[in-house]
Each structure stands twice: as C-alpha cells, then as structure tokens.
Amino acid sequence: MTKLSPHFSKAEMACRCCGNLKIEDRLLSALETLRNLAGVPVIVHDAYRCPKHNEEVGGVADSEHTQGLAADVRISGLSLQQMYELALQVPEFGNGGIGAYDGGFLHVDVRDHRSRWARVRGQYVGIQHLVREPVLLTDKATGTYPV
Ligand SMILES: [Zn+2]
Ligand SMILES: [Zn+2]
C-alpha cells in the first residue's frame, strides 16, 4: 500500500472508477491535521474523482474533487456535529469548504474561500439543517467554561 502521508494511502485518495490520482499537498496536510485532532481513523469515502466519475455520482461541475482539493470523510465513532467541530479547527477547512451530508459524512476541501452547505435528501440546503455552529469556548457570557 503506497503511503501518501503518515495516515493516508494512494488507494484511499485515488478515483474510485479508474484509480487515477490528483491530490494537492495542502489537502493531505489538512487531512493529517484532522486525523491528529481526532485521534482515531479518518475514513475517506471519496477524494479525487476524474470528471467522468464526478458526473456519475452527481457532483457539481468543476467540483473540488476533480481538482484534488476535496475529500468526503467519516471519523470513527463521531457524530456529524462532532466531525464538523473538528473540521472547523483545521484552518484550511475552516477557511475553505465544509459540507454536511445526511448520509453521515462530511465533505472537506481546501478551496481559497469559505463555503458551507448541507445536502439533505439530494437537495443542497444551508448547513444549519444538519449541524449547528459550536459555542465558542472563550464565550465567558455562558459561564459554562472556566476561564
Ligand atoms: Zn475515474
Ligand atoms: Zn465531496
């Protein structure tokens, strides 16, 4: 199994239909950061997609998946909300794209601007349909956290 980084192999990141691979280093390094924050395996459903495969799975044209910038992931034992909160702590994802899917996985990408969405029963909707913004740990007003 060819390793691309400490926790991710070529087979995990390659296109599911043809095995072709295009992957940006900053995606791999952001996924490593996520893996280290989680402390448990990050399972990659889908990362690079060739244009043909992207079309077959109903991805938007010019999807970040076809540019080696995106991965759809699940993290062992974590809810969608917990995965979202972890992804927000990775600067490349927090400042990039995060999508929550009702199938229980998260799309993360390292595009150069912030984008959020959810996909519920095949429809794109606001991300708040599936997850909520975390309460800031520094929010003293709640009195919940020692400061
Ligand atoms: Zn393919
Ligand atoms: Zn995706």
What is the per-residue pLDDT across 97-129, written as a single tens digit (0 to 9) for each? 999 999 999 999 999 999 999 999 989 999 999
The residue among 5, 97, 14, 81 whose CA lies nearest residue 53 is 14
pLDDT surpasses 60 at 144: no
* Ligand 1 centroid to residue 2 C-alpha, Å: 19
Mean pLDDT of the chain: 93
| Distance of CA 84 from the midpoint of ligand 1 (Å) | 28
Q: Is the pLDDT of residue 2 over 70?
A: yes
What mean pLDDT do residues 54-73 have? 95
Q: Calculate Rg over the CA atoms of the chain.
A: 16
CA 6 to centroid of ligand 2, rounded, Å = 22
DSSP class per residue in 34-95: HHHHH-SPEEEEE----HHHHHHTTPPTT-GGGGT-EEEEEETT--HHHHHHHHHTSHHHHT
Does the pLDDT value for residue 141 go beyond 80? Answer: no
CA of 144 to the centre of ligand 2 (A): 35
**For residue 12, how far is its CA from the centre of ligand 2 (angstroms)?**
14
17 CA to centre of ligand 1 in angstroms: 4
Q: Give domain 8-137's CATH number out of 3.30.565.10, 3.30.1380.10, 3.40.50.1220, 1.10.510.10.
A: 3.30.1380.10
* Main-chain phi, psi angles of 73, to 5 degrees: -135, 160
Structure tokens belonging to residue 105: 């996985």
Q: Is the pLDDT of residue 145 over 80?
A: no
- Whether this prediction's pTM lies above 0.85 is answered by yes
Per-residue confidence (pLDDT) for residue 147, from 0 to 100? 44
